[in-house]
Amino acid sequence: EKELFIQGTSEPLQQAREYVEKKKDEIISLKDRNRFHHMPEVGWMNDPNGFSVYDGEYHLFYQYFPYDVKWGPMHWGHVKSKDLIKWEYLPVALAPDQSYETGGCFSGSAFEVDGKHVLMYTGHTNPNPEDESYVRQVQCLAVGDGVNYQKYIQNPIIKTEEMPPHSSLTDFRDPKVWKKGETYYCILGSKSDENSARVLLYKSEDLIHWTYVGLVGESNHEFGYMWECPDFFHLDGEDVLIMSPQGVPEDEFRHKNTNTTVYCLGHLDYDSAHYDFRKMEELDYGLDFYAPQTTESLDGRRLMIAWMQSWHRNMPTDKQGWVSSMTLPRELTVKDDILYQWPVREIENYRTNLVRFEDLLVTGVQQLAGVEGRHIDMDLTVELNDAQRFEIKVMKGENQETTIAYDVDREVLSFDRRQSGSGIEGLNYREMPVPLKDGKLSLRILMDTYSVELFAQQGAHTMTSTVYADLTSTQVEFASDKEVKLTINKWDLAV
């Protein structure tokens, strides 16, 4: 078995590990990092990769360039956790050290097989940065023990030639693998030679020899030119497809970020790859959410984590030598044709200092004793009665505030960081349709040092955004034009 894998640690991997080791303490000890969202030790991070359970623990890898605060040839960073909240940093898992991946080890997935941790990822080469048509992407395997990973000696295992007819040779990436019965299946993001986005299905009995099954879907130029990071799973009777499309035209509320993320509900025919879907919806209406990936928890929950960032926006922590975070992992369920998202229940173990108000009548502008802070979990139910506009301002301080507002007439929830002090250029305001339920709006707000995750109507609608307000901006303020009735539970999160 040994000779099936490249042995030893390559120079580029060794170098990356040493670099991170040297730099990390200084950065990890910075006070103004997030407390319960995963961040890179140092440098740049994008997509979550290889989110999986191995040997009874959760593992998370990520697109990683430790040497700078911007994207560069991708490594796989690596952390693990017992409870999905506290992550332990592990040595860099993959570095681009083979001829088929000189441009980086791109996104992929992980799973446990016979006590081994198997990674499947994309090898990216870009021999002529002036001309993108030379880019090639192939699929590769690596196998490890939870810390060290060896690449399969006969990589790549899915080559460019194994793409379906009329494929663009430059875009073929982000394998997500799952097992059904005795067979492994893998979906990949790709596109046609005429820039129509595609998701492809492959299958294998041994993880090494893969055969193309068919097209799961194609955009036909109507829904973007490339579908990145597809994910697929069966949940509550539905075959759910998640993906991160590029180039989708925005509509009134949707697809406002550089690239969007969507979920589809439907049924997959495993023999033909035909995916009969009846619904597609944007996954998260926030300003920072991309490339989500899911796994199954130890106790059978479907969990999702995403990059809490949008492409091509400035990230103010770059001055400190690190950028970007992951979302908090979320539990997914399907009900009434909606994919619900809810913060993993493990976060509740870190709640402390409950402050509760029941049936409190609020008009005008009001602050509530004990309701403030930057690391909080707050759920509230608002009976809107005759009010037209209800607002919660968070991270409020001198000359700065972030506003969550509900417009009753339009049944629209908005998130506004234009006055937040973040200094982010570009999009800073978004709206999301949220129908009232029996005249009520329920919200859960999770705040970390630099983020606000919003879950409306029990997680039927979510909005996730970064906010880089001054650390002294900790006030929370409520406002309403007419009297509303409010029930609030607010905890500090002590992570």
* Interface positions with ligand FRU (CB under 6 A): 46-47, 63, 74, 106-107, 122, 173-174, 228-229, 291
Furthest C-alpha separation in the chain: 73
Nearer to ligand FRU, 260 or 480 (CB): 260
CB of 173 to ligand FRU, least distance (A): 5
Query: How far is residue 325's CA from residue 87's CA, in Å, rounded to a whole number?
Result: 12
CB of 246 to ligand FRU, least distance (A): 8
C-alpha distance across the termini of the chain, in Å: 43
> In residues, how long is the chain?
495
Q: Of the residues 25, 32, 47, 276, which is catalytic?
A: 47
Two tokens at 210? Answer: 């893969």
344-348 contacts, C-beta under 8 A, 24 or more apart: 344/84, 344/85, 344/301, 344/303, 346/83, 346/84, 346/85, 347/36, 347/85, 347/377, 347/446, 347/493, 348/377
Question: From the CB of 61, what's the least distance to ligand FRU, in Å?
Answer: 12
C-alpha–C-alpha distance, residues 68 and 48, integer Å:
18
Side chain identity, residue 454 = L
Beta carbon of residue 303, minimum distance to ligand FRU (angstroms, whole number): 19
Least distance between ligand FRU and beta carbon 105 (Å): 9
Place of tokens 């509303």: 484
Least Å distance, CB 151 to ligand FRU, is 17
Q: Indicate the residue among 243 and 382 with the shorter CB distance to ligand FRU.
A: 243
CA dihedral sign, ordered 206, 97, 150, 176: negative
CA–CA dist 205, 119 (Å, integer): 16
Is the CB of 172 or the CB of 478 nearer to ligand FRU? 172
Is 131 designated active site? Answer: no
User: Which residue's CB is nearer to ligand FRU, number 174 or number 492?
Assistant: 174
How many Cβ atoms sit within 10 Å of the Cβ of residue 411?
A: 13
Q: Is the peptide bond before 156 cis (omega within 30 degrees of 0)?
A: yes
Rounded Cα distance, 196 and 247, in Å: 10
Pick between residue 400 and residue 466 the one whose CB is nearest to ligand FRU.
466
Closer CB to ligand FRU, 76 or 350, in the complex? 76
| Residue 136: CB minimum distance to ligand FRU, A | 13
Our CB check for ligand FRU shows the closer of 126 and 489 to be: 126
| Beta pairing partners, 395 | none
What is the distance of C-alpha 302 from the center of its chain? 14
**Which residues carry out catalysis?**
47
